[in-house]
Amino acid sequence: MLSRSEMASRLDVFAVLSFAANSVLGSLGCGRTRLDGHAAAPAQSADSGIARDARSGLDATLDDVLVRDAPREFMATADAESDFDGTAVNDDSGLNNMCSANAPVTPPDSPVYGTFAGPNVDVLVCDGGVFSYLFVPTGSTSPYIELFHEDLAAAHSARFSIRQPQNVASVDFSALLGVSATTPGTYTSVQTCGSIVLCLNFPIPAGLDCSTDAGLDCPPGCTLEGPFSGPTCVPVQPSTCYVAQGSSDCVSGTQTPMGSWQLTLNSIILFSKATGYVTHGSLTATMVGDQDATDAFSLSLEF
């Protein structure tokens, strides 16, 4: 079972590698920017705020994940490789007929579709609600990273079709998986580094009142945030998170193995040495609850 600090640590790793990828693409002027058009916030010092829990850590991570700023047709850049033919879109068979984000595909991204299925979880990943590609990371123990990220430019209802549990307000999903070579192959959580994190977020309970501070003790459902000199109690969005991970986080830290995953890359096509590789394949995983390992479901994605 992951503690809050361990979950926050996993999410910090996502932020580091996502920021590295975002920096490369941004420096090339590839049109990939944060959705709000602002630079990522600098890391807080010990004096600037109270440590955030895993939920707010994931919010910050996803805010830094690559998003496209406007729909546009594919156009090869000057450094694009000749072996990329522009066919990054999935075919019209299988699960992607169930729902679609109708999102533009900007290589090296490939659209992802599939399911999260178990006793307590039944969610469709709509075609193009999530994207995936392979890139060369900075500061990683793995020579390549397969990154799965939501299309934050698409409406949330177009990214996921949530059938269970009831009353889910939103879904957050990210995966960073270590890959050793740019040739087709299969990678598992036992062999290489990486983590998959899914959080199901629920509405803040009606009537929750965090306005009455009692020293450093917040009412149930609230947490301290703000400057060290004057933190205040704010509502915590209820969430249930699941994880699948090996023993390494792809940076330098170790982590407790939980669940399992298998990534199969059937094709890897160099789009640009600077931006990354277009990939096609599949990802399967057994995702377990970060607070209850008996609460599990199966992840099955194709891209």
**Which residue, chain included where needed, has tokens 């990214």?**
159
Greater confidence (9 vs 273) lies with 273
The answer on pLDDT for 128 being more than 80 is: yes
Q: What is the pLDDT of residue 214?
A: 56
Residue where a domain terminates, one of 184, 219, 236 = 236
Global confidence as pTM: 0.71
Q: What is the pLDDT of residue 215?
A: 63
Q: Are 167 and 201 in contact (CB under 8 A)?
A: no
The answer on pLDDT for 54 being more than 60 is: no
pLDDT digits (tens, 9 = 90+) for 10-26: 444 444 444 444 433 33
> 90 lies in a domain?
no
Most confident of 5-9, 37-41, 113-117: 113-117
What proportion of the chain, given as a percentage, has pLDDT over 70?
66
Q: What is the pLDDT of residue 102?
A: 82
Of the pLDDT bands very low, low, confident and very high (cuts 50, 70, 90), residue 152 is confident
Which are the contacts of 44, defined by CB distance < 8 A and separation ≥ 6? none
> 153 lies in a domain?
yes
> 88 lies in a domain?
no
Q: What is the pLDDT of residue 221?
A: 92
On whether both 114 and 162 belong to a single domain, the answer is: yes
What is the total count of domains within the chain?
Answer: 2
Domain hosting residue 279, numbered range: 4-83+95-199+240-302
On whether both 226 and 111 belong to a single domain, the answer is: no
- Kindly state the greatest CA–CA separation across the chain: 64
The answer on pLDDT for 204 being more than 50 is: yes
The token pair at 247 is 């023993």
On whether both 101 and 215 belong to a single domain, the answer is: no
Rounded Cα gap, residues 53 and 39, in angstroms: 22
Query: At residue 131, what is the residue type?
Result: F
The answer on pLDDT for 242 being more than 50 is: yes
Q: What is the pLDDT of residue 232?
A: 87
The backbone torsions φ and ψ at residue 36, rounded to the nearest 5 degrees and listed phi first, read -85, -5
> 121 lies in a domain?
yes
